[in-house]
Amino acid sequence: MLETGSAAGFDEERVESTVAIYPEQVRPLLVCLIRIDTSDFEVRLVRRHQLRVPEQRRIIGHNARRQRAVNIPDPNVALSKGAGLRIGISASAVRSHTNQLDRLFRKDIEHIEIGLFESLEVADRFAARARARDKTVGIHSPLVQGGSKYDLLRDVQMPTEAAWMQIQQEMDWCIRAKIDYLLVHYPYASVSGDLDLPAVDNGIQKLSRLQRLTDIRVICEPKLGDDHDPAGIGWLRNAPTRIFSDAGLHICWDVGDHLLASRLEEVYFAQFTRWKHLISIVHLHNVRMEGRNYRWTPPHPMRSAMDAEYNLSRIVDQLPRHAAAVFEYTPQHVATPVAIKTSFNFVKALTEKDGNA
């Protein structure tokens, strides 16, 4: 049975039609409230089995302070199972091709970050295999091919409202599949100077509410814009760190993209030092330039071996030990198995030292 509150503008038919998009087996677990305002609507999801009835009553309504009855993840609590940097791999290494996904279950990694599945059925099977092999999984939105990547602030590939609905559905799937986190490209802009702090903060608050109501961690990855424009990454330089920490959100730090945006090592480290305590996921790759384009390459100890742009030794050494380092490399750059193994050993040797909590 659908339980609802009495928020202003409540529309029962709209609630019913919204809930209908979710799989039948999930609907009994949800309490939904639609709050209509002048700009948009939100669907707030609460797992019924997690909340006692009095807690449900505090959730149902539109008073944000009352929603804090649900646990907010602490940005300083590690995602990893134990002490030390957790090593993972991105499905970019196999382009998320269904017939190559088993290559991600390497013995030398603990974690896999993946998205762009060919279908939900493929995603379900992969999540089950990962649990059976004791690998944790994070989802890089979009979950399924054809979904939105950049539309949470403004229409890029699809209407913003549809992109937010997609995020809600993906978090619902993450609950069922026992996923560690959902990573979203946020904030994103195609050019610098196109990000407004109040608008960005509004999206952060929406993501924070979804995180509180689902207990699925949300990881925000600021992105480069068109033609290597610093855009979202440059925006971080003047943004207050509390905009994320007060919302209980973690960020993803893409090493290669931040190096491209910073251009100078001292600029990179100044930015990194400000945000280090909020970094839970690191996308770890070097960069090989090909004209105006670039490829992701593994973080090899000899950058000349990968024809890469940057020396990553100091950067890897400074990675926060509470984070997960997700190796990213694109298959267009053909790295041999030996080179990839050398890259893993290089990172492990640097990060198994003491320090850099």
pLDDT per residue as tens digits for the range 36-45: 232 333 433 4
Instruction: Please indicate, yes or no, whether residues 40 and 125 belong to a single structural domain of this protein.
Output: no
The confidence score (pLDDT) of residue 45 equals 41
Top pLDDT among 76 and 136 is at 136
Buried b / exposed e over 273-311, threshold 16 CB at 10 Å, is eebbebbbbbbbbbbbeeeeebbbbbbbbebeebebbbe
Do 102 and 181 have their domain in common? Answer: yes
* SS3 state at 181: strand
The pLDDT of residue 74: 52
Q: Which residue has the higher pLDDT, 332 or 337?
A: 337
Residue 163 has a CB neighbour count (10 Å cut-off) of 23
Highest mean pLDDT pick, 72-76, 256-260, 301-305: 256-260
Of 80-84, 327-331, 334-338, the least confident? 80-84
Q: Are 192 and 229 in contact (CB under 8 A)?
A: yes
CA distance 253 to 267: 15
Average predicted confidence (pLDDT) for the chain? 80
Residues 179 and 305 in one domain: yes
pLDDT digits (tens, 9 = 90+) for 158-177: 999 999 999 999 999 999 99
- Residue 239 domain-assigned (yes or no): yes
- The model's pLDDT over 173-216, given as tens digits with 9 standing for 90+, comes to 999 999 999 999 999 999 888 899 999 999 999 999 999 999 99
The whole-number pLDDT of residue 357 equals 57
- Angstrom CA distances, 262 to 28, 225, 235, 353, stand at 48, 14, 12, 27
Kindly report the pTM of this predicted structure.
0.79
Distances from the Cα of 21 to the Cα of 15, 25, 75, 104, angstroms: 11, 12, 32, 32
- pLDDT classification of 356: cutoffs 50, 70, 90: low
Q: How far is CA 280 from the centre of its chain?
A: 9
Task: Give the integer Cα–Cα distance in Å for 30 and 48.
Answer: 6
Coil, strand or helix at 155: coil
* CA-derived radius of gyration, the chain: 20
Please check the confidence at residue 128 and state whether its pLDDT lies above 70.
Answer: yes
Give the percent of the chain with pLDDT over 90. Answer: 57
pLDDT attached to residue 33: 32
Q: Binning pLDDT at 50, 70 and 90, where does residue 292 land?
A: confident
Q: What does the pLDDT read at residue 182? A: 99
The distance in angstroms from the start CA to the end CA of the chain is 47
- What DSSP state is assigned to residue 74? P
Residue scoring higher pLDDT (307 or 16): 307
Residues 51, 150 within the same domain: no
Confirm if 70 and 52 have CB atoms less than 8 A apart. Answer: no
Could you tell me if residue 272 is inside a domain?
yes
Residue range 328-343: average pLDDT? Answer: 81
Residue 152 lies in a domain: yes
53 and 110 part of one domain? no
Considering its fold, how many domains does the chain have in total?
Answer: 2
Which tokens sit at 161?
């409202």
pLDDT > 80? residue 287: yes
Q: Looking at the structure, do residues 330 and 216 belong to the same domain, yes or no? A: yes
Q: What is the pLDDT of residue 35?
A: 35
Q: What is the pLDDT of residues 62-85, one digit of tens each?
A: 333 333 333 444 544 545 444 578
Looking at the domain assignment, is residue 4 inside a domain? no
Q: Which residue has the higher pLDDT, 320 or 83?
A: 320
Domain interval for residue 286? 86-351
Predicted pLDDT at 307: 75
Does 109 share its domain with 155?
yes
Please indicate, yes or no, whether residues 63 and 91 belong to a single structural domain of this protein.
Answer: no
What CATH number corresponds to the domain at position 192? Answer: 3.20.20.150
**Of the residues 69, 97, 112, which one is the last residue of a structural domain?**
69
Whole-number pLDDT of residue 67? 35
219 and 305 assigned to the same domain: yes
Average pLDDT value for residue range 100-115: 96
Neighbours of 256 (CB within 10 A): 24
pLDDT of residue 85: 87
The predicted structure's pLDDT at residue 37 = 33
Q: What is the reported pLDDT for 177?
A: 98
Do 63 and 155 fall within a single domain?
no
- Check whether 9 has a pLDDT greater than 70: no
